[in-house]
Structure 1
Amino acid sequence: MRNTTIYSSSLWRADSYLSDTGYKPSLESFPLSPLSGSSLVTLASIGKINDSSRPEHGRLMQTPLFQTEMNDSDDLRKSIDPRFHMLLKRTQISAHSIEPTVANLSNIQQPSQAWVNNENESQVSKIKSKPASRVYLVSKTGQQICSTRCRSIAIATFIFLICVLLIVLPLGIVYGLASSSDFSTSIISTMITTTTTTTTNTTTTTTTTTTTTTTPPATAWIPSNYGTPCSSTCINVTTVTPSTLIASWTFEMNTNDVSGQGHNGIIANGAAFSTGYVGQALLLDSSLAQYIFVPYIDLTLKSFTVEMWIYSFTLSSLDLSLFGECETRSIDQCLHYIIRNYKVYMGFYGDDLVGVTNLTAGRWYHIAYVYDFVNNVQSIYLNGLLEASRVPISSYMGQNGSAAFGITGETGANYYNGLLDQIRITNRVKISCEILNDASLITHYPFDGSVVDIGPNKITARTTVQGNSGISWVMGKVNQAINFNASNSYFQSCGFWALGQNQPYSIALWINPSSLGGTLFHLSTDATGSGAWCLPMIGFSSNGSIVGQTWNGNTFVVIAPIPPINAWTHIVQTWSSTNGLHLYINGGLYGSINVPVFAAAGASMCVLLGNSGLGINCQTGQILMGPYSGAIDEFYVYNRELLASEVCPLAHP
């Protein structure tokens, strides 16, 4: 049996277009193989587009229509489509090949017909194309069949469906398991690039967005290890209560002892105040011999811890005085805490401890000097971590003398040139976890019926709550929570120097939304929520998903699931130059994105909860700025990147 193919231009995939425009393709007929006896005949269409205005110009279209076995005397009538009919009359064909000829279709007006005559050179003599949108392949009996090309398409389609099943079926199983256990994973990482070019009269803003294609689930996301006991960390260690303090100075435009013990400082030579690590700080100019005098503090024959934040304008190999209480320049009777040769130094006079890290001018450091009288151990902590320790020759023996900041009675000591902030003296040995929290926990608002900061820095004085008619206290995740239910209500606290620097940070809070929308955590240089630098860092997207984002000249975003309404969800956002932006939901890491730089304002910042304030000219990223409706509880800010093991206890209070 031989194969014979008759080619016709009667069908083309864009026939409807051709019908509308009057487009007439040319026809190319191809040789027919010699036939004898029974033959397998295939009717096909082939057309070459001649319209140069069409993008498909010059594309060769060949589509098999049907295929069937025929005898020499058979007449074949096949209904290809209700709108298309073709009559193929089969007669005797000569035994030699037929050369291709071209038929002009422009003058053919009758319904589509094609036949091969019995002349020595057979050709398609008449063809009229009536548009059809589909091609049906039919057999002699009128049943639909498939040509060789169609079978290839069917096989390819079958393989494609199998592949889809192999992919979709496991995902369906996982989704089913996820639905039954409230667990699913979905991460979207987005980078928003905004470039603004300003001329005299024109401002052009271009925004480029790159987003992955995962859609977050509209159910609570619970990490797989939720409920597993958290490993032991320093996060939940309670800070020291005021009753254990000997003295505390916050330098909020004064030198008063806020512990209530009466150790108020006296300014010498015009010492001033400036922006501090938290709020304000004491500003000392060494060229003016400025310092603060404090009445005698009894540290004799007892343990004590002295902590402070320092910001040095200049450093050198000379001794720079921080704090001292010197009875006499004799061994173990002249307490002096200084910076010697760029390193932190703890001296009893002739019986001293020196640190190992070289300090750098122009940045804040937390220093803790600890003396354990019972075990006779000196220790120095830098930024919450143990720097050095030793056993001195003898205990500290000083019994009188005045205390001072910025100068000591030690021989050769120089006045300090820089800022001092948050100085605290405690009459016991602070453990390492307490010191780490003092050095890294900027603020902690439990919102237990008030806006009191119970963290080490006590920044309540800089806290504002607006929209009192829209603020209420409700049952919280732990005790009580603050609730926002008006468009003008928000919580604000200013004086966060650490959040204005290219330094690690962590933000944690519980939310219980009554609706999905608005800003949860907003950072700005101005108390209005606007200013030279402003960004909503945690909030909701337009579809109600939780969004965490940061800024390095572009907005880098991690989008988490849509949280449930009227239920508690825990959120932690962390950033460091090493690990980039991380977003934790309910104690589990949900997503992250590499962001090596936090392009902060380089200034002290204001924090708003539940709103973005005016939010003028802020970078918005993926957060739909506006008022938040719902409750917030247990709000923390750290100046370091929390580890996953440290996030766990915050999500399991």
Structure 2
Amino acid sequence: MFPTNVRTITQKSTTNLTKKSKRSFKCKRPEWLTKKVLIVGGITTGVLIIAAIVIPIAVKAGSPSTAATTTTTTAAPVVLAYWALQNNANDFYGNYSGTTNCNWCYFTTTGFFYGYMFYMYSTNSYISVPSTSYFNLNSRSFTFQIWINLNSLSIGDQPIFSQCTCTTCSNQCLFLIIRSSKLYMGFTYNDLAGSTTLVTGVWYHVAFVYNYQTLQQIIYLDGVQDAISSNAQPYLGTNGTMYFGYSTLLPSNYFNAYIYMAQLTTRAKSATEMLNAGTQIYYFSFDQPSPYYDNGPNLLNYTGVSGLASTSGKPKTENLFCRSKETLPWVYPSSINGGVLVYSSNGINILGLTYSGQIVGQIYEYQPVTVYQAVVGPFLSTSTWTHVAWTFSLTNGMILYVNGAVQGSITGVTSYYFGSHTVTIMLGYGNGATYGYIPGYGFQGILDEFYAYRRELTASEVLTLASV
């Protein structure tokens, strides 16, 4: 901001100001202070000032105690092994394949999801991965996970997985076992016991995690943290054969159980990853170059297609389904005159369109009455993406969501078909028969992002998936 009343200074007034200044600050130079003395003194003072500034700087810069030090740390590469146990003990990646030692053990069908599983029920019955294929877990994070189904809980400690260098040395024998009907992990004198009592005849997803950065041991059961310990020193084994169903720490003990799909990696997986691993059955994104491959944790690839073509899909969202069940695809109908979206091989249409084009979710109730229970939602529009979710649990019943909003629910179902059987899921298939409210002919349109889970997702989780 400039003043509006600017004063103009004339040459005359400037001269007067100068004169006043000289009178105010006039002083007489001593006679000895000649021009020569002034020049020499000025030069000397200038040199001293420059020296005072430059010399300390030079000394500081040249001091070795203040030299910068750079430390570079290279992280160890993440190692992964995966044993699908499909009639052999081969590692999917070819680096840590094992062999069976079967006094009383064999591969049998059908596994929890599909294919084979490995059954052990006596001493000297196990799978071994030789120390020549040494999997180095020394002073590293790791995650071991596997599906198990126990046949007995009355035979003492049951070894699930182990690797030992020394059975009497602290932190040199890794063992993952069942003890007192609970999960148990240890490195020898550095152990953690689970909190949940297991039962026989039930498939469990179990995981044992060690986090080297936080010094934590963590046990997960069906994707949920079961126990945790802090200040746990790392496993220090330097070699050793890996065993499934045996441990040199417990040479007389054995694992009486079915095992299925084991995985070991040198990374501490997060709680979110463990929840996904323990509850997600499959996930089909239908993306190229492998549109019918399962992108979930269990690699349950498709077994057949008919009358399908790949096309551009919905920009990434989710879908689900099982035990507590969940099914949610994105749908883009080209026709809304009925059609099956999700069909199971035991003859039940789970999700589809009515003759008039309304979305419907249903369940075949067995008790207290035998009847199809259904929730009928809104009319769908052709050439429009709609997110549909179908969930079920004995606690909350069946719920149908459309674009993340609840359309209705059916409660009070205590028993239902499709509850305890291994079935094939078919998308867009109709076998010609009408079941419940869904006519039995195929869906016409596009499906994208299909998921299946072993748990019921919450309303907020469904809304999140529908908002992506």
Q: TM-score range by the shorter chain?
A: 0.7 to 0.9
Unpaired runs of at least 5, structure 1: 1-242, 482-495, 525-532
Q: How many angstroms does 1:600 deviate by?
A: 2.4
Matches within 5 A, 1:53-72: none
Q: Does 1:434 align with 2:273?
A: yes
CA distance in 2, matches of 1:413, 1:578: 43
Task: Pick closer, same or farther for the CA change 1:614–1:298 going to 2, 3 Å.
Answer: farther
CA distance in 2, matches of 1:519, 1:244: 43
CA deviation profile, 1:294-314 (whole Å, cap 9, x unmatched): 133111111001111111111
Give the structure with higher Rg (CA). 1
SS at match of 1:271: strand
> CA 1:479–1:371 in 2, change beyond 3 Å: closer, same or farther?
closer
Aligned match of 1:557: 374
Give the C-alpha shift of residue 252 in structure 1: 2.2
**What's the counterpart of residue 278 of structure 1?**
113
Distance verdict in 2 for CA 1:520–1:573, change over 3 Å: same
Q: In structure 2, how many angstroms separate the alpha carbons of the residues matched to 1:600 and 1:289?
A: 38
2:317·2:465 contact (CA, 8 Å) conserved in 1? Answer: no
**For residues 543 and 374 of structure 1, what CA distance do their matches in structure 2 show?**
58
Tell me, in whole angstroms, the C-alpha distance in 2 between the residues paired with 1:289 and 1:272: 16
TM-score under structure 1 length normalisation: 0.55
User: What do residues 74-98 of structure 1 show as CA deviations (whole Å, max 9, x unaligned)?
Assistant: xxxxxxxxxxxxxxxxxxxxxxxxx
Q: Out of 317, 322, 328, which is 1:508 matched to?
A: 328
- Which letter maps to 2:430? S
Deviations 1:348-400 (A, max 9, x none): 11211000110000001111100011221111011111111113553211110
Note if 1:611 corresponds to 2:444: no
Structure 2 gaps of 5+ residues are 1-76
Structure 2 matches for 1:143-222, cutoff 5 A?
none
State the secondary structure of the residue aligned to 1:268: strand
Is 1:459 matched up with 2:297?
no
Offset of residue 316 of structure 1: 2.2
Taking only the aligned residue pairs, the percentage that are identical comes to 35
Letter in 1 for 2:420: G
In the other structure, the counterpart of 2:357 is 544
Whole-Å separation in 2 of the counterparts to 1:472 and 1:268: 46
Residues 566-618 of structure 1: CA deviation (Å, up to 9, x unaligned) = 11111110000000000000011111110233332532110000113466xxx
Equivalent position of 1:359 in the other structure: 198
Query: For residue 439 of structure 2, what is the amino acid of its counterpart?
Result: L
1:361 alignment partner, SS class: coil
User: Residue 614 and residue 334 in structure 1: after superposition, are their counterparts in 2 closer, same or farther (change >3 A)?
Assistant: farther
Structure 2 CA distance for aligned equivalents of residues 642 and 480 of structure 1: 15
Q: Displacement of 1:245 after TM fit?
A: 4.8
Say yes or no: does 1:262 pair with 2:95: yes
Which of 444, 450, 461 is the matching residue for 1:635? 450
Matched, 1:523 2:344: yes
Q: Which 4+ residue blocks in structure 1 deviate beyond 6 angstroms?
A: none
Contact 1:371 1:429 in 2 (8 A): yes
Supply the distance in 2 between the matched residues of 1:429 and 1:413 (Cα, whole angstroms).
Answer: 31
Q: Assess, with a 3 A threshold, how the Cα gap between structure 1 residues 287 and 476 changes in structure 2: closer, same or farther.
A: same
1:273 CA drift (Å): 2.7
- Name the aligned partner's letter for residue 292 of structure 1: I
Size of the alignment, in residue pairs?
377
Out of 314, 338, 347, the position equivalent to 1:477 is 314
Deviation at 1:418, TM superposition (A): 1.6
Give the conservation status (yes or no) of the 8 Å contact 1:474–1:480.
Answer: no
TM-score using structure 2 length: 0.77
* Structure 1 position 535 matched with structure 2 position 348: yes
Q: Secondary structure at the match of 1:465?
A: coil
Q: Give yes or no for contact 2:90–2:96 (8 Å, CA) kept in 1.
A: yes
Cα-Cα RMSD: 2.1
In structure 2, the residue matched to 1:306 is 144
Code of the aligned partner of 2:315: V
Residue equivalent to 1:249: 83
Where 2:117 maps in the other structure, the secondary structure is strand
Give the Cα–Cα distance (whole angstroms) in 1 for the partners of residues 253 and 127 of structure 2: 14
